[in-house]
């Protein structure tokens, strides 16, 4: 199992530890703070509740987390070393000196710095080519963007390996081949922050009004299209050129004060802090973090359903992590029920009772049905040819509850597979507990006439093979049962 060393276990370091750990890496942490273990445990609790819910396949087996009293112990045997110490150049360089005395020469040393250029970090290093900037965004365990900033001192092989590692833990490495202070994203954030401070100082808007302008408006557009693609659409059918022609002159108008920074005097600090307390003071930081994480999961899963923006990254990550069969030939033992779903319960699948919403049982069973269809040959190409299966009857029994973050799996059995009919029975488990069953009758149809039709051999043959093999299994308890008191 791969090993990552985390040097500095604050908010960012703890987020890195959680992402590596939940993606199957062993994690070794060094932080002199006596409260480091408690703080990282709290971050990890949030990550365990939220990150697995982004995946619709089983996550890797969680790695082993250990804490170490010295940097040499923490970096021993590590393939990736993530530095997240305070933003003081002399401190970072001192850390690198100790790290490089004791780490593997080919280990990647990534810095979470939000401002320093990699050439500055590499300045006094014994092996400058080991050190790169890998700047994340909070919460590190949910947001995929990592600004990977390199210099000519970094070997191509190391840069490629850094990209592969970041992609392997579900991140998007944005590679900056030319360094600049504060990289890319923080320069945008700084510009918006400066303008926001002026709006408060001049009495134009409060902190809450500014936040509402972002979260109810352009923030949602930026979340899935960014800046330029959003403006391209704003240009209508003529696109970006028309947008620039129409709005370009505005750049010379005195709309912003981006080059003029207000003094952070006591009056402005008091105004910002007071308004922020009035806006969010009713919630603890942990409550706000949980709400943030729940909202991000919902947004990201929504984008995932559309295979768009950050959601497309999640879909690609599911493909990389999935071990579920796509063809009958992939099934190790056809004589047993087939594993068709294996995932965690996402945060947005729970209801007011604190457990999985009844509609989500059908979602999971629907995913299991879709996989069974693909296994017998009813894949995208088959559907594109004008034929498919429609579900005509469903019966779900709710036997036990599942909460957010719980691992669930569905095992599926084919009760009948001949002619136009495919009769399926799904069992959902949480560990060894039977949580629910779903019985589904499907009819093969022509998508042109929307009427039942016989399948051709592409589906008929494998479906009959599966049904014949499963005919030897015991009939499931509850199959064919009507709604009633148990």
Annotated binding site: 8-13
β-strands 80-83, 3-7 pairing:
parallel
Q: Are 44 and 121 in contact (CB under 8 A)?
A: no
- What does residue 431 show for φ and ψ, rounded to 5 degrees? 70, -125
Annotated binding site for NAD(+): 8-13
Taking CA atoms, 153 is separated from 103, 105, 112, 128, 180, in Å, by: 19, 14, 19, 6, 16
For the chain, give the longest Cα–Cα distance.
Answer: 79
Q: Are 164 and 134 in contact (CB under 8 A)?
A: no
Q: Are 271 and 263 in contact (CB under 8 A)?
A: no
Pairwise CA distance, residues 255 & 250, whole Å: 8
Q: Are 387 and 446 in contact (CB under 8 A)?
A: yes
Residue 60: CB atoms within 10 Å: 15
Pairwise CA distance, residues 27 & 12, whole Å: 14
- For residue 408, with 0-12 CB atoms within 10 Å meaning exposed, 13-18 middle and 19 or more buried, which class applies? buried
Structure tokens given for 77: 């045997």
């Amino acid at each position: 199992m791969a090993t990552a060393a985390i040097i500095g276990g604050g908010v960012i370091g703890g987020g890195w530890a959680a992402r590596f750990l939940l993606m199957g890496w062993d994690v070794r942490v060094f932080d002199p703070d006596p409260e480091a273990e408690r703080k990282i445990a709290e971050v990890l609790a949030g990550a365990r509740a939220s990150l697995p819910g982004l995946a619709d396949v089983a996550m890797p087996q969680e790695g082993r987390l250990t804490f170490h009293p010295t940097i040499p112990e923490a970096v021993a045997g590590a393939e990736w070393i993530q530095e997240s110490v305070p933003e003081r150049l002399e401190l970072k360089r001192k850390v690198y000196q100790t790290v490089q005395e004791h780490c593997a020469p080919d280990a990647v040393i990534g810095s979470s710095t939000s401002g320093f250029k990699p050439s500055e970090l590499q300045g006094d290093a014994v092996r400058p080519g080991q050190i790169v900037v890998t700047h994340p965004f909070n919460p590190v365990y949910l947001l995929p963007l990592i600004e990977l900033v390199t210099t000519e001192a970094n070997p191509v092989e190391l840069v490629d390996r850094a990209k592969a590692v970041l992609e392997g833990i579900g991140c998007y490495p944005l590679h900056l081949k030319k360094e600049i202070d504060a990289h890319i994203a923080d320069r945008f954030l700084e510009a918006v922050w400066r303008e926001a401070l002026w709006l408060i100082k001049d009495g134009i808007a409060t902190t809450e009004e500014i936040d509402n302008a972002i979260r109810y408006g352009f923030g949602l557009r930026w979340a899935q299209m960014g800046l330029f693609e959003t403006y391209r659409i704003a240009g209508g059918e003529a696109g970006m050129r028309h947008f620039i022609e129409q709005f370009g002159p505005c750049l010379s108008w005195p709309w912003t004060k981006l080059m003029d920074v207000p003094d952070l005097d006591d009056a402005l600090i008091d105004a910002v802090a007071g308004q922020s307390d009035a806006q969010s003071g009713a919630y603890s930081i942990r409550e706000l973090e949980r709400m943030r994480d729940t909202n991000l999961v919902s947004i990201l899963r929504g984008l995932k359903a559309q295979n768009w923006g950050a959601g497309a990254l999640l879909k690609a990550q599911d493909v990389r992590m999935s071990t579920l069969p796509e063809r009958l030939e992939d099934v190790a033992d056809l004589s047993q029920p087939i594993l068709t779903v294996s995932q965690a319960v996402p945060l947005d699948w729970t209801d007011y009772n604190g457990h999985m919403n009844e509609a989500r049982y059908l979602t999971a069973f629907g995913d299991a049905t879709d996989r069974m269809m693909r296994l017998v040959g009813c894949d995208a190409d088959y559907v594109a040819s004008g034929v498919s299966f429609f579900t005509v009857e469903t019966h779900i029994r709710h036997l036990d509850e599942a909460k957010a973050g719980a691992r669930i799996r569905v095992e599926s059995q084919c009760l009948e597979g001949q002619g136009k009919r495919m009769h399926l029975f799904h069992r959902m488990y949480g560990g060894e507990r039977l949580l629910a069953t779903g019985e589904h009758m499907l009819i093969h149809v022509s998508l042109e006439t929307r009427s039942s039709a016989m399948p051709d051999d592409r589906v008929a043959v494998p479906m009959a093979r599966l049904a014949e093999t499963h005919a030897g299994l015991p009939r499931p308890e509850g199959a064919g049962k009507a709604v009633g008191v148990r």
